[in-house]
A and B are shown apart, each in its own frame.
Chain A
Amino acid sequence: MNVETLASLARIELSSDEKTRFAGQLEQILHHVEKLKSAHTEGVEPTTHVLPLANVYREDQLRPSLSNDAALANAPDKDGPYFKVPRIIDPAS
């Protein structure tokens, strides 16, 4: 398990101390998880939902949207009616 790659995939910057610490702790946890290999899962269906619910919909009916002010009220940065973010460029380029 490569903590650095995973942190990058999860978009989390880690300090070098965190990288080392997490690597050890996660190895330990994964070792514990190995136990699952001994479970008898041949022919067992996976459980993604514990309740046997299906076909829950809503009708195609309008509901009030937020005002633009309310939508942007929590935004760290904005520009007029827009959310604002730094430029999108690739780190490789």
Chain B
Amino acid sequence: MSPLQVEALIKRIEQLNPKLNALIWFSADSVRRQAKAIEQLSGARGPLWGVPVLIKDNICVNGVPATCASKILKGFTPPYDATVITRLKQAGAILVGMANMDEFAFGSSCEHSCYGPTHNPWDLQRVPGGSSGGSAAAVAAGLSALALGSDTGGSIRQPAAFCGVVGLKPTYGRVSRYGLIAFASSLDQIGPFARTVSDAAALLETIAGFDPNDSTSAEVPVGAYRAAAAKEVKGLRIGIPKEYFADGLDAEIKTAIDAAIAWYRSAGASIHELSMPNTEYAVPVYYIVATAEASSNLARFDGVRFGHRAEDAGTVLDMFKKSRGEGFGSEAKRRIILGTYVLSSGYYDAYYGNALKVRTLIKNDFDKAFEQVDCLLTPTTPTAPFKIGEKTDDPLTMYLSDIMTISANLAGVPALSMPCGFTKSGLPIGMQLMARPFGEETLFQAGGAYERAHDWNKKEPAL
């Protein structure tokens, strides 16, 4: 970026962020300093050199506060870089700041943040989706070219769909989780947000790969994702799982997805209707597995080594209970309690143990589907962005809105969301592409070809 571009970006953020509340930590000086410092970097300049990247507030950057948008982590400054951050720094990217999110990534609306909600750039009355709502809104509004989010049950794809940008949840193990403040360890993945499929591909190429600090990252070579995004789709086999088109799917979204399917057929791909019968179990399995792991992952917030400690605690037990009672928001408390319950003695087999078995069934559905097709095409969300405050008091309805995205996390497969139209009222619509494990190239291929033939991403929100 030229100095002029740096100043333009800073100005845009300072002007628009108060409307959106997408960035919760931003330092113009830090951006200027990084823009200067990357001039000194040795080595070839890759595609991310000088490119602004916004970081979700649950990814650790050495010396920059990371709070997961939670009161319990206010004031916490990690003394280390997440592996994805190390890779971005080496690539010469400019870290713009930290993005708003649902507390600890618990949510689908970005309303559960101790910094207040983020607003959807396409309609400020509406949610940007969640949990990576700040990242999605910022990219949509041009506050950053790229952003990192994390996706445990749709937290990248759903906000990407709601904000009209591209978002990818990589294969489990594709991107290191070291430095990502864990929500559900067996489901979490860090992934890119961008305006275009090829930009998302460039960001993934930079952050992906085996990391010796993450035992669950895979030693699978990183693909040529940008090259894949330039390919055509002739001969590609695309599956349409009927369970994703059931009751409750918004008619406008259905129309947009049908149009996308028609386009793929016209572009020479073959379309195959198929069934993934265990899809109906995805939401209950997810809310057992994810909350169980979360209840354990969030035990470290105990007020001893970092984060919030209640002031009037006379004993250690008091300190634990009060600090956590004051520090966690409602949704976090609800999920910790549910997770504690499903693991507790006498209930483990009925809930957690059984959920792990049903998880196998869901994974088997994907294995079978990918014997027939190269990728799956579905809507990303059953509805367009809802209004802020519309669902906050109804956690179950909120959970059910993740129905399209959750299965990919349970099966560990990669999934991309990209714009495929707008509602009559001008709200973005997203479509989801899913591929077999480590099949990100297929997603970029299918996404890139569609994107070249459409101009949804040329439209900008009026701000």
Tell whether A and B belong to one assembly: yes
Residues of A whose CB lies within 8 Å of any CB of B are 1, 3, 6-14, 18, 21-22, 25-26, 28-29, 32-33, 35-37, 39-41, 44-51, 53, 56, 58, 66, 70, 73-77, 83, 85-91
Kindly provide the distance from the CB of B181 to the nearest chain A CB, expressed in whole angstroms: 13
- The reply to whether B287 and A29 contact each other, CB–CB distance below 8 Å, is yes
Say whether chain A's binding surface is mostly helix, strand, loop, or mixed: loop
CA distance A32 to B337 in the complex (A): 16
- The reply to whether A12 and B325 contact each other, CB–CB distance below 8 Å, is yes
Measured between beta carbons, the chain A residues less than 8 angstroms from B281 are 35-36, 39
- The reply to whether A1 and B341 contact each other, CB–CB distance below 8 Å, is yes
| Residue of chain A at shortest CB distance from B298 | A10
Give the bracket for the number of chain B residues in contact with chain A.
35 or more
Kindly provide the distance from the CB of B314 to the nearest chain A CB, expressed in whole angstroms: 6
Stretch at the interface among B246-254, B302-310, B372-380, B451-459: B302-310
Kindly provide the distance from the CB of B440 to the nearest chain A CB, expressed in whole angstroms: 15
The interface bits of chain B over 183-208 (1 if a CB of A lies within 8 angstroms of the residue's CB, else 0) are 00010000000000000000000000
- The reply to whether B357 and A45 contact each other, CB–CB distance below 8 Å, is yes
Residues of B whose CB lies within 8 Å of any CB of A are 75-77, 79, 172-173, 186, 212, 215-216, 218, 278, 280-281, 283-285, 287-288, 295, 299, 302-309, 313-322, 324-326, 328, 330, 333-334, 336-338, 340-341, 344, 351, 353-361, 363, 395-396, 399, 410-412, 437
- The reply to whether B354 and A50 contact each other, CB–CB distance below 8 Å, is no
Measured between beta carbons, the chain A residues less than 8 angstroms from B284 are 32-33, 35-36
Kindly provide the distance from the CB of A82 to the nearest chain B CB, expressed in whole angstroms: 11
CA distance A86 to B315 in the complex (A): 5
- The reply to whether B328 and A51 contact each other, CB–CB distance below 8 Å, is no
Measured between beta carbons, the chain B residues less than 8 angstroms from A73 are 77, 79
Residue in A28, A40, A50 whose CB lies within 8 Å of B361: A40
Kindly provide the distance from the CB of A87 to the nearest chain B CB, expressed in whole angstroms: 6
Residue in B75, B283, B320, B437 whose CB lies within 8 Å of A32: B283
Measured between beta carbons, the chain A residues less than 8 angstroms from B336 are 10, 12
- The reply to whether A89 and B357 contact each other, CB–CB distance below 8 Å, is no
Measured between beta carbons, the chain B residues less than 8 angstroms from A77 are 309
CB within 8 Å for A11 and B359 given contacts A56-B215, A86-B314: no
- The reply to whether A91 and B341 contact each other, CB–CB distance below 8 Å, is no
CA distance A86 to B309 in the complex (A): 11
- The reply to whether A70 and B344 contact each other, CB–CB distance below 8 Å, is no
Residue in A9, A12, A25, A53 whose CB lies within 8 Å of B216: A53
Measured between beta carbons, the chain B residues less than 8 angstroms from A10 are 295, 299, 324, 336-337, 340
CA distance A60 to B340 in the complex (A): 35
CB within 8 Å for A74 and B313 given contacts A1-B341, A12-B325, A53-B216: no
CB within 8 Å for A51 and B357 given contacts A33-B284, A88-B316: no
